[in-house]
Structure 1
Amino acid sequence: MAFPSDTLICGECLSTPPPFSHTVAPWRYQYPVDGMIGRYKYNGQRKYVRPLVTGLAEHLSRHLETRPELRPNLIVPAPMHSKRRRQRGFNQAEDIAEQLSLTLKIPWSTTRIRRLRHTRPQRELGREARLHNLRGMFEVNGAIPARIALVDDVVTTGATARMLTAALMDAGAEDVQVWALARTLG
C-alpha cells in the first residue's frame, strides 16, 4: 500500500529531528511489499522487487519535476560489509541505486562511503541498539557533493539513515535525502 503523501512525519522525527532533509519511500513496509522485498533480499529473487524499483523511479521522477531544487548531485547506496555481501551475493541498495541512476540520469557511486565493521543484522535490533551498533561504522571516501540521495531498501527506525547522513554531512554534504522502497509505520 502506498503512502498518501511524502509529507508524513513520524513521531520520532518530530521529537528528535533527523539530520537528513526528508525521506521518499512510496510504500508501507507491510503485506505484500514486505514479502516482495524479503524474497528479493534474502532469496535473491529480483523479479519481486522490479515493480517496486520501477514505481519508486516513477514517483521520484514526478517528485523531482515538481521540486527541481531537490535534485541530488549524487546517489549513494547504503553500504554493506563485504562479508555480508559475499553471504548474500549482492547489495540490494546498490541494485536500487543503479536503476534509479539510469532512470533519473543522476550519477551514483558505491565508493563514497563504506562500512568498516561486520555487525549483527540491524533487523535483529531495536532502535537504540541499532544506533549503538552503527557508531563509528562508516567511512567517507573522496569528494562529497552538496546534495546527496542516500538509497536503501527499507527505512525502519531510521538509525542507518541517521548515521550515514551524519557521516556524509561531516564530509561536506549540505543536504541528504533518503530514498527507499518502503518504510515502516511509526
Structure 2
Amino acid sequence: MSPPAFKVTTAELLYEGPVIELIYDFKFNGSPRAGALLVELMLANTPAHLGSALLPVPMFQARAKKRGFNQASWLASQLSKRLNVPVVSARCTKQLPSQRSLNRRQRMVNMVGAFQVVGPLPHHVTIIDDVVTTGATGHALAQAALDAGAMHVDIWAVARTPLDRN
C-alpha cells in the first residue's frame, strides 16, 4: 500500500463515549450548541502548521440536501472566521454508499475518483472533517487537492477512531 496523499493528521480526541454523542448530535440533529463545542475543541488543538486554506470534505449534493447541511463545511466556515484563513471548496462527484459499514480496503476503493477540486490552490491546504477513521476520505480528497495544484495537504478533524476499531 502506498503512503497517503496527506502529510499530517491533527485529531486530538478519540471517537468514543461522549465524543460520539456530541458528533452525532451535531451531524444528524444539526445542534448548533454541539457544533460550537466541536469548534472550540478543535481550536484547543490547532495544527502546528496550519495551511493557507481550509478544504472541507464535500458531500454529494443529494446527501447534503437530505441531512440539511454539510458538517465539514460548517466546521470549516466557523474555523475560517476564527482563524482568518479562507475556505476553498471541492465537489463530491460520486454518490457513495455510507463509509460506516465498510472496512479499510472497501473504503479506499469506494473513494477512488470521488472528489474534484478546482484550482489553483495555495501551496499548503488543510482538509477539515469531523472524524477520521481509516484515512480513505482524506487520502482521496488530498489527492484531488494535489492534482489541483496544492503541494502539501494535511487533515484537521475533531476526532479519530481508535486504531483497534478501523
Asked if the contact 2:116–2:144 (Cα under 8 Å) also holds between the matched residues in 1, the reply is yes
Question: Structure 2 length normalisation: TM-score?
Answer: 0.92
Measure the CA separation in 2 of the matches of 1:177 and 1:99: 18
Q: 2:101 is matched with which residue?
A: 124
Unaligned runs of 5+ in 1: 1-14, 65-69
Q: 1:78 is matched with which residue?
A: 57
Measure the CA separation in 2 of the matches of 1:73 and 1:154: 22
Asked if the contact 1:57–1:104 (Cα under 8 Å) also holds between the matched residues in 2, the reply is no
Q: 2:137 is matched with which residue?
A: 160
Is 1:149 matched up with 2:118?
Answer: no
Shift of 1:16: 5.1
Shift of 1:72: 1.1
**1:1-186 paired onto structure 2 within 5 Å:** 17-60=3-46, 63-64=47-48, 70-110=49-89, 113-186=90-163
Measure the CA separation in 1 of the matches of 2:52 and 2:139: 19
Measure the CA separation in 1 of the matches of 2:26 and 2:155: 20
Question: Which of structures 1 and 2 has the bigger CA Rg?
Answer: 1
Asked if the contact 2:117–2:145 (Cα under 8 Å) also holds between the matched residues in 1, the reply is yes
Asked if the contact 1:155–1:183 (Cα under 8 Å) also holds between the matched residues in 2, the reply is yes
Measure the CA separation in 2 of the matches of 1:85 and 1:45: 16
Shift of 1:52: 2.1
Question: Structure 1 length normalisation: TM-score?
Answer: 0.83
Measure the CA separation in 2 of the matches of 1:170 and 1:147: 13
Unaligned runs of 5+ in 2: none
Asked if the contact 1:20–1:176 (Cα under 8 Å) also holds between the matched residues in 2, the reply is yes
Measure the CA separation in 2 of the matches of 1:133 and 1:126: 10
Q: Which amino acid aligns with 1:53?
A: V
**Aligned CA-pair RMSD:** 1.4
**Superposed structure 1 runs of 4+ greater than 4 Å apart:** none
Q: 1:9 is matched with which residue?
A: none
